[in-house]
DNA sequence: GACTCTTGAATTAGTCGTACCTAATGGGTT
DNA sequence: AACCCATTAGGTACGACTAATTCAAGAGTC
């Protein structure tokens, strides 16, 4: 899924990216290209390419006579999949998961509503299949299989919305769901109510009931928020 | 706001980026680094840096013995501000505006709801100021001043939500609002109802009424959808 | 004869190192 | 305070070499 060590500059990014996104260099810190090249034992050309990528992620800014300065967190392109992965692997993972879950709570209900109008017959079938797969793996510590279908379910919803911006969040949702299962909560079987909701969403989409699909999905995301103690009083 | 021609590689991107995002090269098309370097009259080093940036945006993929292949639209990082600007400047601008407006309709209401809980006194004041500014410029063909306050208003809302993912959409919303005023609809004064809604949102946020702020903002975004003939029956 | 497997030549990106250019910066001078 | 210049670190160019992958020709097999 990721883009590991694609060439030397990729290897450099695999180390430097996480360091920066972890906040190891405070905003305004200055990195020198030559020093970095020495540190990673690569040529200046390779180092420059890596810096260009970091620059395009708004993580750093390169200025003459000054060096490569780290930009404040508020300017980072937090939607870059690579940046998201780096941050999820770092120390502010909990914070990152919260931000992404809130984003989900905003996007997924609307996406489900749109999916109810735009989904093809094939997508409806896929959705039902995913929901049934979740039911089948909802008991007896089959978390792995459950996760697989859960991820696929939300991916289809986002895809079927017909909105490209929503569709591209499939990877993000996958990361959140995967992370949640593997590291944080959910040591036991998933909440039966959540499973039921997924089945009902699939049915609502199939029936073309936009409002119902949206509302049911909102309930799902509210559950996700509650799992992280993000209240909505 | 943008990052214009920062060095030669930036100049190359200013031309090549719009071409790719405009779909001038069908998915799978191959570009050769050397040819591109010749075409733009830059060294291979510079061209390679430009390719690295395009690669980090998931617009192209570079493989040995094959060249730089253009990736399908569905894989582009459509949240990259640069990509958004390129597409907004290109031929599928209308489609892009629709996607972004739908995204707004999902995000902004939730953001407003959060803002009602998290906004600081200073942010509330700013919000009120923006709303009043909108009122002041709502009549007499003062579209420029109106737009300025409108953009600022939505920026503050997204910022005050306390969610970094929402906050980073400020630039996107700014582009949408600016684009709408400059190119498409709105040759006359803005809809008075919309202006009123903004004032009411500011008041709801100030009062900490989360549900009301969310609902009012939803009405604003519904209006934006209707302007683009995106129905919600 | 048709098919598969191996091998090697051609091609293109990847890497490196050097040399030189350019522009911000900061200190020293007037 | 205004100005000038040496310093410094990134920006650009070029050339040589490396390495991986594709493709096609040829050997071997059924």
Does residue B114 sit at the A interface (CB-CB below 8 Å)?
yes
Residues in A 10-69 whose C-beta is less than 7 A from nucleic strand D are 31-34, 44-45, 48, 51, 62-68
**Over pLDDT 70: what percentage of chain B?**
94
* Interface check A116 vs B, CB under 8 A: no
Mean pLDDT on A57-84: 97
pLDDT of residue B184: 61
Reported confidence tier of residue B141, pLDDT bands at 50, 70, 90 = confident
Q: Which of the residue ranges A224-233, B35-44, B187-196 would you say has the lowest mean pLDDT?
A: A224-233
How far is A133 from chain B, CA to nearest CA, in Å? 26
For B213-223, what is the mean pLDDT?
97
Q: Is it the case that residue B1 has pLDDT exceeding 90?
A: no
Predicted confidence (pLDDT) at residue A67 exceeds the cutoff of 80: yes
Q: What is residue A6's predicted lDDT score, i.e. its pLDDT?
A: 83
CA distance B48 to B126: 45
Record: fold of A92-227: 1.20.120
Cα→Cα distances A216→A54, A221, B126, B173, Å: 40, 9, 36, 28
Banded pLDDT at B23 (limits 50, 70, 90): very high
Q: What does the pLDDT average to over A134-160?
A: 95
Q: Tell me if A98 sits within 8 A of A226, measured CB to CB.
A: no
Residue A179, pLDDT score = 83
Mean pLDDT taken over chain B: 94
Does the CB of A175 sit below 7 A from strand C?
no
Which residue's CA is nearest to the C1' of nucleotide C10? B65
Q: What is the pLDDT of residue B229?
A: 79
The 10s digit of each residue's pLDDT in A41-56 is 999 999 999 999 999 9
Structure token pair of residue B14: 């200013």
pLDDT at B14 over 70: yes
Report CB contact under 8 Å: A100, B49: no
Q: Is B158 exposed, middle or buried (0-12, 13-18, 19+ CB in 10 A)?
A: buried
Residue B233: pLDDT over 60: no
Decide: helix, strand or coil at residue B210: helix
Same fold, B7-75 and B92-227: no
Q: What is the pLDDT of residue B221?
A: 97
Residue ranges covered by each domain of chain B: 7-75, 92-227
Closest CA–CA distance from residue B79 to any residue of chain A (Å): 6
pLDDT in tens, A172-205: 999 999 988 876 655 678 899 999 999 999 999 9
> Which of A21, A98, A165 is best to mutate for the B interface (most B CBs within 10 A)?
A165
What was the pLDDT predicted at A50? Answer: 98
Residue B126 to chain A, least CA–CA distance (Å): 19
**pLDDT at position B5:** 66
* Per-residue pLDDT at B2 exceeds 90: no
B144 compared with B13, residue with greater pLDDT: B13
User: Nearest-CA neighbor of B111 among B174, B172, B157, B169?
Assistant: B157
Q: Please tell me the predicted confidence (pLDDT) of residue A109.
A: 98
The two three-digit tokens of residue A231, written as one number:
């209240």
- Residue A3 — pLDDT band, cuts 50, 70, 90? low
Q: What is the pLDDT of residues B67-93, one digit of tens each?
A: 999 999 999 999 999 999 999 999 989
DSSP, residue by residue, A10-48: HHHHHHHHHHHHTTSS-TT-EE-HHHHHHHHT--HHHHH
Pairwise pLDDT comparison (B5 vs A141), residue with the higher score = A141
Fold for the domain defined by A7-75: Arc Repressor Mutant, subunit A (1.10.10)
Q: How distant is C1' of D27 from CA of B132, in Å?
A: 85
Is the pLDDT score of A1 beyond 80? Answer: no
The two tokens of residue B185 are: 């609809």
Pair A173, A139: CB distance under 8 Å: no
Q: Provide the CA B65 to C1' D30 distance, Å, integer.
A: 34
Helix ranges (H only) for B41-168 are: 44-56, 81-88, 93-118, 121-136, 143-160, 164-167
Burial class (CB in 10 A: 0-12, 13-18, 19+), A188: exposed
- What strand order describes the sheet that includes B30-31? B30-31, B67-70, B60-63
Q: Is the CB of A163 under 7 A from strand D?
A: no
pLDDT of res. A4:
63
- pLDDT recorded at residue B231: 64
Count Cβ atoms within 10 A of the Cβ of residue A54 and give its class: 0-12 exposed, 13-18 middle, 19 or more buried. buried
Nearest residue on chain A to B84, judged by CA atoms? A165
Q: Does B103 touch chain A (CB under 8 A)?
A: yes
Contact status, residue B164 vs residue A80, Cβ threshold 8 Å: no
Average pLDDT, chain A: 94
Q: How confident is the model at residue A228 (pLDDT cuts 50, 70, 90)?
A: confident
User: Are the beta carbons of A169 and B102 closer than 8 angstroms?
Assistant: no
B207 touches strand D (CB under 7 A): no
pLDDT (tens digit per residue) in A21-37: 999 999 999 999 999 99
B196: Cα separation from own chain's centroid: 24
Query: Is the pLDDT assigned to residue B179 strictly greater than 90?
Result: no
Average pLDDT, stretch B195-220? 98
């Amino acid at each position: 899924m990721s883009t590991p060590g694609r060439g030397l500059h990729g290897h450099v990014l695999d180390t430097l990216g996480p360091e920066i996104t972890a906040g190891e260099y405070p905003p305004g810190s200055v990195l020198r290209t030559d020093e970095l090249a020495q540190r990673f034992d690569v040529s200046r050309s390779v180092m420059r390419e890596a810096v260009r990528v970091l620059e395009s992620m708004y993580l750093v800014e390169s200025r003459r006579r000054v060096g490569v300065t780290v930009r404040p967190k508020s300017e980072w392109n937090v939607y870059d999949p690579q940046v998201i992965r780096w941050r999820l692997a770092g120390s502010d993972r909990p914070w990152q998961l919260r931000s992404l879950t809130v984003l989900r709570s905003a996007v997924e209900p609307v996406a489900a509503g749109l999916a109810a109008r735009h989904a093809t017959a094939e997508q409806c079938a896929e959705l039902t299949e995913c929901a049934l797969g979740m039911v089948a793996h909802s008991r007896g510590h089959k978390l792995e299989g459950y996760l697989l279908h859960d991820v696929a379910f939300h991916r289809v919803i986002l895809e079927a919305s017909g909105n490209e911006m929503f569709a591209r969040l499939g990877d993000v949702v996958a990361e959140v769901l995967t992370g949640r299962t593997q590291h944080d909560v959910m040591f036991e079987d998933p909440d039966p109510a959540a499973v039921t909701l997924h089945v009902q969403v699939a049915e609502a989409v199939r029936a073309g009931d936009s409002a119902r699909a949206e509302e049911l999905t909102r309930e799902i995301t509210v559950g996700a928020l509650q799992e992280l103690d993000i209240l909505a009083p």
